[in-house]
Structure 1
């Protein structure tokens, strides 16, 4: 059944449980009807994910996740490591590593990082059984679609103050992707989604202290969705009302206790809304950081001449835990969440990268961060989530006001994505294998075995 036919069917059958309707859409979507633009975007998502996973592979949280795996006990690869591991272990570890820099892809409408929960399960599955590139691509696009649509219906600034969006959208996105890759029928796909809904969760207390839960929440979400689909494959039955029933996921967490009608591919595919972060900071710090970088590069600013700094953002950005925090910063993740830290670092250095976090107690940075005021702007708020605007204004001691305003985040472009991938991959597997891997991702549409592509990410022992 084509996406158009599925939408027509949904209009006449909205009284059926949402999991059933989404299961039909997941099962009925065909690789043949997938827009080429979605496939092109997916290949960039995969390069970006691998770049992050390679670069983060030596960080503590990535190493910890990898050390949980049983080496030599399975066919799957943890990016940047030499030994095969069981599929579930690879899913968990690769999702954690992909999240490890806080530079993963971003779907603003769902406030979720969908690549880190969709791609690791599919890559592990492709090493367990042969999956061709077109099937892999279509399954990934379906995963992004389900995660994006569920997130748009569920996540609000109020929800995100307490709950981790990716922890809720991730299991469903992963389950949908794996269901499609395995060729589930509508009933199996519905059960996978329903089981995944029961495995959703995650709290947002960690941003206040910069603790490590964030990384492992992504791993748990990816593995939960992978597990839900495999249980459905084995015959496990999920409740049809798990998404929209009286005690279903959407009524349980939405303030109106209702479940809106959700239709897949009703408009542009959600994957086309994903953007790639230009700097390794929280999504909500991206645009303020970029505005501050532009301002620092345009003006020759002596920090001693700064009297005040005002940052205007969306209400969602100001409200997200950890973003409106002026310090002190005990951990790197705490600094990466902070708009104050990002803006202060940008103004002092004219750039924000991994080296920005080597000294969290730098006196000049701490002093400037403490004088930054973050405010919600009505115009930026009204434009969200379609756009994420920000403005940085500096009050100088001589009375001048220097400002830079961005109507939306400026995403990393293709050249930057490829440059980061080449550098990160070559540092782990060598320049030659990195080139081979990039070519394999570029040729994904014609690949007969995506598992072979993943095996190129293994470090040489």
Structure 2
């Protein structure tokens, strides 16, 4: 690509051009729901091993950013890292299908940490609009970059997350176009995260989001302080497209040209990999048609997209040494839904459940080309159960069924009540609900913590 401004410079101008007043109320409402989804997951996972590991050596300070797991204020970069890891800890984060990325668990921890250190009042609408800009930039770049083959090797959230978070930070801080271009370029230099972890049961995945959120703050600081970074970092000879995707770069669609990408983000019903969502939902639907218990099921056949089968850890029949391995596996998710008659967190409590193991052993998983052509616009799947008497029952879903807003809010309330106490959780809920009209978003920092622990 030659001539004209670079992709990073073009995107910087588009990010900064977004006026908070131009973001409609329904889009702001979606951003606020994404914020609740992020916080709810972080509260619920705050004491899991990887969440505790992420805050190792973090220290409480009198002035800083809220660290959800620590329950205190800490250094903003530490808070961003720990909160991003905690929010990713359930594998129930929000999902943008086109970019194959979990944007919320990088954008929100970086933004909220920055809110605490900005040093001046910023309206809630500005905070939400900055998040919208971050989701947009990450979604557009990720959709252009990611393929099923690339996602098999590199973690999409690790590649795209720093860019999305930096876009949000630059909009939030009101940086110049030159500073924003450099910050975005530096963020591309932070693209990282290999997808080898499913093969060995490693917990690397949880920390990808922490690295991305913390690095985003560093990139924004460097650019704001005068660091000048490569303009052609996306399309250059050794830029993002050629280095990672091994493909010729192309001009990206203008940001916000076709609406707002954040509205395409869906919230998971099951605490499991994106690619296990629709198969598990189809399995639950067909299970409800089976009389009696799952013992009546002789075998299971799953039809999914090529992208689902290629993603590391998704086509896995066990044994499952970790809960993460089970949450990645389509076969485990389907078998557990059939055995338990649900797709909730309890499905992953016993990795050696004999009935789940029996069903997995009798399960086949295959690509259905008709489903593949629908991806990524839709994520279809189908599950067929063969009963002991030979009866075949099939259920196909045209797309994943997202968690409705009421479910997201309910999960947030339950987790926040437990972490903060009902009174404080109610205050936080009310503040988020009114965030778009708030003159100053800063109280959100303190409201994330229990009242007595500030």
TM bin (shorter chain): over 0.9
Is the Cα contact below 8 Å between 1:80 and 1:428 reproduced in 2? Answer: no
Distance 2:57 2:326 in 1: 27
Is residue 416 of structure 2 the alignment partner of residue 425 of structure 1? Answer: yes
User: Shift of residue 80 of structure 1?
Assistant: 4.5
| SS of aligned partner of 1:392 | strand
The question of 1:298 aligning with 2:328 is answered no
Matches within 5 A, 1:60-99: 60-72=49-61, 74-99=63-88
Q: Please name the residue that 2:47 is paired with.
A: 58
SS at match of 2:342: coil
Q: Which moved more, 1:130-139 or 1:161-170?
A: 130-139
Deviates further, 260-269 or 187-196: 260-269
Instruction: Measure how far apart 1:64 and its partner are.
Output: 1.1
Aligned partners of 2:429, 2:378: CA distance in 1, in Å? 31
Matched pairs, number:
449
Q: What corresponds to 1:108 in structure 2?
A: 97
Distance in 2 of aligned mates of 1:284 and 1:269: 23
Matched ranges for 1:2-151 at <5 A: 15-72=4-61, 74-129=63-118, 130-151=121-142
1:424-451 CA-to-partner distances (Å, cap 9, x unmatched) read 0001111111111111111011122322
Please show how residues 209-220 of structure 1 align to structure 2 within 5 Å.
209-220=200-211
User: Would you say the 8 A contact 1:393–1:401 is kept in 2?
Assistant: yes
Cα pair 1:77 1:90 within 8 Å, conserved: yes
1:248 is aligned to 2:242: no
Residue number among 397, 400, 406 corresponding to 1:415 in the alignment: 406
- What is the Cα deviation at residue 301 of structure 1? 4.7
CA contact (8 A) 1:24 1:187 kept: no
Instruction: Confirm or deny: 8 A CA contact 1:19 1:190 kept in the other structure.
Output: yes
Whole-Å Cα distance in 1 between the matches of residues 345 and 202 of structure 2? Answer: 18
1:76 Cα deviation after fit: 0.7
Residue 235 (1) aligns with residue 221 (2): no
- Which runs of no fewer than 5 residues in structure 1 stay unpaired? 1-12
> Which moved further from structure 2: 303-312 or 382-391?
303-312
Unaligned runs of 5+ residues in structure 2 are none
Q: Secondary structure at the match of 1:383?
A: coil
Distance in 2 (CA, whole Å) between partners of 1:427 and 1:261 is 44
TM-score (norm 2): 0.96
Q: Which residue of 1 aligns with 2:337?
A: 346
Compute the TM-score of the two structures, normalised by the length of structure 1: 0.95
Q: Secondary structure at the match of 1:110?
A: coil
Q: CA deviation at 1:396?
A: 1.7
Aligned to 1:275: 266
- 398-407 or 126-135: bigger deviation: 126-135
Matched, 1:371 2:362: yes
Are residue 165 (structure 1) and residue 173 (structure 2) matched? no
Aligned: 1:201 with 2:206:
no
Q: Could you tell me how far apart the structure 2 residues matched to 1:80 and 1:451 are?
A: 20
User: How far 1:75 sits from its partner (Å)?
Assistant: 1.1
Match among 361, 377, 382 for residue 386 of structure 1:
377
Report the Cα offset of residue 172 of structure 1: 0.3
Post-superposition shift, 1:102? Answer: 0.3
From 173, 178, 181, the equivalent of 1:182 is 173
* Cα distance, 1:14–1:258 mapped onto 2, change above 3 Å: same
Task: Give the C-alpha shift of residue 35 in structure 1.
Answer: 2.5
164-173 or 223-232, which deviates more: 223-232
Distance 1:334 1:114, change over 3 A: same
Aligned partner of 1:312 in structure 2 is 303
CA distance in 2, matches of 1:14, 1:104: 39
Please say if residues 146 and 176 of structure 1, whose CA atoms lie closer than 8 Å, have aligned partners that are also in contact. yes
Q: What CA deviation, in whole Å up to 9, does each residue of 1:59-88 have, x standing for no partner? A: 011111122423226411112533211110
Contact 1:25–1:264, Cα closer than 8 Å, also in 2: yes
Using a 3 Å threshold, how does the CA distance of structure 1 residues 201 and 80 change in structure 2: closer, same or farther?
Answer: closer
Match of 1:10 in 2: none
1:333 aligns with 2:324: yes
Q: State how far apart, in whole Å, the 2-side matches of 1:333 and 1:365 are.
A: 16
In the aligned structure 2, how far is the partner of 1:80 from the partner of 1:170? 21
